[in-house]
Chain A
Amino acid sequence: MNMQQAIKMTAAETALVDAYTAQIGDLPGDGSVLSVRDTLVHELKTAGLPTRRVESWHYTDLRTLLRAVPTADPTAFADRVEALVAGATVLSVRNGHADLKGNAPEGVTIRSYTDSLLDGSAAAGLAVLGTDDAIGRINGGLVRGGLELVIADGTELEDPLEIQLVQSLGQAHTRFPVSFGANTKATVIERHLSTNAAESLISSVSDITVGEGAEITWIVLQQQGAADTHLGQIRFDLAKDAKLHLFLINAGGKLVRQEIHGKTSGEGADFKLRGINLLGGESHTDVTFTLGHNVPHTTSTEIIRNVVFDRAKGVFQGKILVAKDAQKTDAKMACNTLLLSDDADLSAKPELEIFADDVQCGHGATVADIDHTQLFYLMARGIPENKARAMLVNAFVAEIVEELDDEPLVEALESVISAWLEKHA
């Protein structure tokens, strides 16, 4: 402890702690919330940002990578943008401030997370997931807004809910506790955008509970600017027979850490993670995933596809833990990467920790270049090399998108992907 305290704080650490100090008295929260915040910021100050010596941050030395933190600008303006798919209900969050205007669809209760901080009901949820939960710590210390959603039992939402986070500059720290009641059906799009090239840092935690028999698709579409830092965390808990299809697309940001931590709490729960990481420039993008299969008869599949251009660096850490009692767990994890330049890099660390004996679990990781035979086949039909390559890269990720089985959504995501590829390939 003393040793660590003696280490000089980095500019980013200082800036984060200063951001907190500057806002004391202004950050929303009752006594219980403020005391949690104090603890978290104190931990941040003493432990510092995680370095590569912390196992779960081994490939993303946040202390080194996070050079600076832009100061929060409460007066900054950001505009809302068109919904990703027509008909979606947009819940707008601009520069960290949720806009509660507009009507909630039937069966959905929307509350400002700021109110939950103010009345203290948010305090328990601010707890970090462990000593190395730097995102939970930063977010818990500085969070000002977000939305709390409750979807009543039996609600089936026809159109997606889009939580639209638009950032123009500075900082934003948001939270989204979302509770899906029993037998609900819904698609939620958590969309992170930036409106300009100015640097920003955002942290965002979504805390998802999926009730019995519910079938939920949750999409995280991260399209921040090339100078931005994105610290995201998804937590989820699946009840009996609950299904969660979590779909992650990273198509932006300079320094990105997207964590996903979940558990199955009821038999018959099924989790599906599909991730597409489009990486280019000098960016660093880390997807870290842990899943606890805690009860018998639960299933999960995880497929991550990485496309890495330029000098970009990607990280995928996936850890599946099967508890002692969780017999008949079926879990399969795959991480496939297309490395498209000599300087591109990807580290994959898939892990299984199995304490039950009657399970089916597997994982695999592949790294490849474009398939030459496929490239030749396309070119032999008159498609020029650049275009043929783009088609193959697109194909590598399109397979995953098509699993979504919702045509407008598939189309919208495909156009996000092809726009990105056009810019970077």
Chain B
Amino acid sequence: MLEIKNLHARIAEDGTEIIRGLNLTVKAGEVAAIMGPNGSGKSTLSYILSGREDYEVTEGEILYNGENILELEASERAAKGIFLAFQYPVEIPGVATMQFLKVAMNEQRKYRGEDELTTPEFMRRVKEAAAELKIAPEMLRRPLNVGFSGGEKKRAEILQMALLEPKLCVLDETDSGLDIDALKIVADGVNALRSPDRAVIVITHYQRLLDYIVPDTVHVLYKGQVIKSGDKTLAHELEANGYADIIEAAA
């Protein structure tokens, strides 16, 4: 589903290279975990995947279902099924959450040539998904992410994911800021989306989330490269020993 080949990317503004020859393949139906020390480029990779323009790809390619997506706008990638749950969801005062959800869902449908949702159908879907994630209706009446607690923001990201039904889900530290119950709820939400035609990339620092969302593969990102890949036992290894050994072995 996703093939990243020898990707090099830099910050457009000052030219600093962050991603330095990264290779990664994720198959449909797979859950891949990406781990790695702070500043290794995990969030940057997720931004580049979803089309943030602050970064410039200088080499390599990203194939999504065989299509090179580097020329596509962020909105087009989203409509084609790429979803990023942000490490830091963005507050947008003045944009009502419900209005945002409706516009996002319908714009994606329009792009794909599908009919727009009727208001009752939209309401029904939101109500149902919000209930699953234990999101209070009052929260949805507020402006987008404004005044949401850290955990509420993460839950709202998963709500968006559930409603948009993406094919490739990238979760950037969705576990951070969640209490134990919320972690379970969010993990259940992600697991509910697992399907043979969907892939999930989980970026995390902790094994805890991976106890709930059990990955098929684990990749260690360091200085803009995947320096080691393995199965779920690799995450346990990291939890026990940290990154030092792996970094050393790769050097």
Q: Does B212 contact A (CB under 8 A)?
A: no
Let me know if A379 and B94 touch, CB within 8 A: no
Q: By CB atoms of chain B within 10 A, which of A380, A382, A383 has the most?
A: A382
Which residue of the partner chain, among A376, A384, A399, contacts B107 with CB atoms under 8 Å?
A384
Q: Which of A190-198, A347-355, A388-396 makes up part of the contact surface?
A: A388-396
Closest CB in chain A relative to B163 CB, distance in Å: 10
Closest CB in chain A relative to B162 CB, distance in Å: 13
Chain A interface residue count, Cβ-Cβ cutoff 8 angstroms: 23
Closest CB in chain B relative to A41 CB, distance in Å: 46
Q: Does B202 contact A (CB under 8 A)?
A: no
Let me know if B107 and A387 touch, CB within 8 A: yes
Cα separation A125 to B90 with both chains bound (whole Å):
52
Q: Does A373 contact B (CB under 8 A)?
A: yes
Let me know if A377 and B94 touch, CB within 8 A: no
Q: Does A372 contact B (CB under 8 A)?
A: yes
Interface residues of B in 84-107 (CB under 8 A from A): 84, 86, 89-90, 92-95, 100, 103-105, 107
Closest CB in chain B relative to A414 CB, distance in Å: 11
Q: A388: which B residues are within 8 A, CB to CB?
A: 75
User: Which residue of chain B has its CB nearest to the CB of A384?
Assistant: B75
Cα separation A380 to B160 with both chains bound (whole Å):
11
Q: B83: which A residues are within 8 A, CB to CB?
A: 380
Q: A157: which B residues are within 8 A, CB to CB?
A: none
Q: Does A378 contact B (CB under 8 A)?
A: yes
Q: A158: which B residues are within 8 A, CB to CB?
A: none
Chain B interface residue count, Cβ-Cβ cutoff 8 angstroms: 31
Q: Does A381 contact B (CB under 8 A)?
A: yes
Let me know if A381 and B104 touch, CB within 8 A: yes
Q: A378: which B residues are within 8 A, CB to CB?
A: 92, 95, 100, 104
Cα separation A418 to B92 with both chains bound (whole Å):
18
Q: Does B158 contact A (CB under 8 A)?
A: no
Cα separation A374 to B50 with both chains bound (whole Å):
14
Knowing A392-B92, A395-B93, A399-B94 touch, does A380 contact B50 (C-beta < 8 A)?
yes
Q: Does A385 contact B (CB under 8 A)?
A: yes
Overall SS of chain A's interface: helix
User: Which residue of chain A has its CB nearest to the CB of B79?
Assistant: A382
Q: By CB atoms of chain B within 10 A, which of A380, A394, A396 has the most?
A: A380
Let me know if A377 and B78 touch, CB within 8 A: no
Let me know if B52 and A376 touch, CB within 8 A: yes
Which residue of the partner chain, among B47, B78, B84, B90, contacts A374 with CB atoms under 8 Å?
B90
Cα separation A398 to B96 with both chains bound (whole Å):
10
Let me know if B75 and A377 touch, CB within 8 A: no
Closest CB in chain B relative to A395 CB, distance in Å: 3
Interface string of B105-118 (1 = CB under 8 A from A): 10110010000000
Q: Does B54 contact A (CB under 8 A)?
A: yes
Q: A391: which B residues are within 8 A, CB to CB?
A: 95, 100, 103
Cα separation A372 to B79 with both chains bound (whole Å):
20
Q: Does B239 contact A (CB under 8 A)?
A: no
Q: Does B224 contact A (CB under 8 A)?
A: no
Interface residues of A in 359-386 (CB under 8 A from B): 372-374, 376-385
Closest CB in chain A relative to B43 CB, distance in Å: 12
Which residue of the partner chain, among B47, B53, B78, contacts A381 with CB atoms under 8 Å?
B78
Let me know if B95 and A379 touch, CB within 8 A: no
Let me know if B95 and A395 touch, CB within 8 A: yes
Q: B53: which A residues are within 8 A, CB to CB?
A: 372, 376
Closest CB in chain B relative to A392 CB, distance in Å: 7
Cα separation A310 to B78 with both chains bound (whole Å):
30
Q: A382: which B residues are within 8 A, CB to CB?
A: 75, 78-79, 104-105, 107-108, 111, 164
User: Which residue of chain B has its CB nearest to the CB of A399?
Assistant: B94
Closest CB in chain A relative to B143 CB, distance in Å: 8
Let me know if A374 and B92 touch, CB within 8 A: yes
Interface residues of B in 44-101 (CB under 8 A from A): 47, 50-54, 73-75, 77-79, 83-84, 86, 89-90, 92-95, 100
User: Which residue of chain A has its CB nearest to the CB of B46?
Assistant: A380
User: Which residue of chain A has its CB nearest to the CB of B93?
Assistant: A399
Q: List 18 A-B contacts (CB under 8 A).
A: A374-B92, A376-B47, A376-B52, A376-B74, A378-B100, A379-B51, A379-B75, A380-B74, A381-B160, A381-B164, A382-B105, A382-B111, A383-B75, A385-B73, A391-B103, A395-B94, A398-B94, A398-B95
Identify the A interface with B (CB < 8 A). 372-374, 376-385, 387-388, 391-392, 394-399
Q: With A381-B160, A399-B94 given, can you name 4 additional A-B contacts, CB distance below 8 Å?
A: A376-B47, A377-B89, A381-B104, A383-B75
Top-3 shortest CB links A-B: A395-B94, A382-B78, A382-B108
